[in-house]
Chains A and B, each alone.
Chain A
Amino acid sequence: NAGVTQTPKFQVLKTGQSMTLQCAQDMNHEYMSWYRQDPGMGLRLIHYSVGAGITDQGEVPNGYNVSRSTTEDFPLRLLSAAPSQTSVYFCASSYSRGAGQPQHFGDGTRLSIL
């Protein structure tokens, strides 16, 4: 049972570099989302998708892009990395967007921007 798979687990970038964080789920979930987790701040929503071809911004979308070409995959792109984007990034999926739906999380990508 793979669930939600995130790659890579760790990454170090230099300021200004770009990269893509990968996220894949095998539960046929319609709703997928990206969060960042910083100490003392909880989980903050970056972008989300309610289905293939449909994405929208969350609370902290600046500096990030997403796309959803398939139900399974939801990559997060950092356009030009900044030190403020140093964080742990989590991808999550759920059956639907409903607020009471259980969220299934990947194990995260730990990203450092130098």
Chain B
Amino acid sequence: TQLLEQSPQFLSIQEGENLTVYCNSSSVFSSLQWYRQEPGEGPVLLVTVVTGGEVKKLKRLTFQFGDARKDSSLHITAAQPGDTGLYLCAGGSNYQLIWGAGTKLIIKP
């Protein structure tokens, strides 16, 4: 059974701080997606990474896919209250998407 573990499960920090959340597995994935979900809404795709070692930037968010394609990280620089939400990673393998349980992020003004 393929599993994706996200850490931390919960993170509450002050506006302006930096943070990193992680998505780890013992399995190799062909792709790794990151989604953000706000209360009362469905997840929205932020980024897809497909190559080992790939780094993608989306404004203050930096996404990295591990060299072995088993893990990924999301780094947020100078977090803002608008970054608050549930961050989900999903690994793609054999037409399946394996979902992590998410990191709940709260940015306090």
Contact = CB atoms under 8 A, between A and B. Distances in A.
A binds B: yes
A77 interface: no
Contacts of B78: none
A90 B44 CA distance: 12
Interface string A78-114: 0000000000001010000111101111111000000
Interface residues of B, number: 28
A43 interface: yes
Contact of A42 (B30, B48, B88, B92): B88
A60 to B, nearest CB: 12
A105 B48 contact: no
Contacts of B43: 43, 90, 103, 105
Given A42-B99, A107-B40, A108-B42, A100 B88 contact: no
Given A42-B99, A99-B93, A92 B50 contact: no
B68 interface: no
A111 B101 CA distance: 20
B6 to A, nearest CB: 8
Interface of A: 4, 40-45, 90, 92, 97-100, 102-108
6 contacts: A97-B95, A99-B94, A99-B96, A103-B33, A108-B40, A108-B42
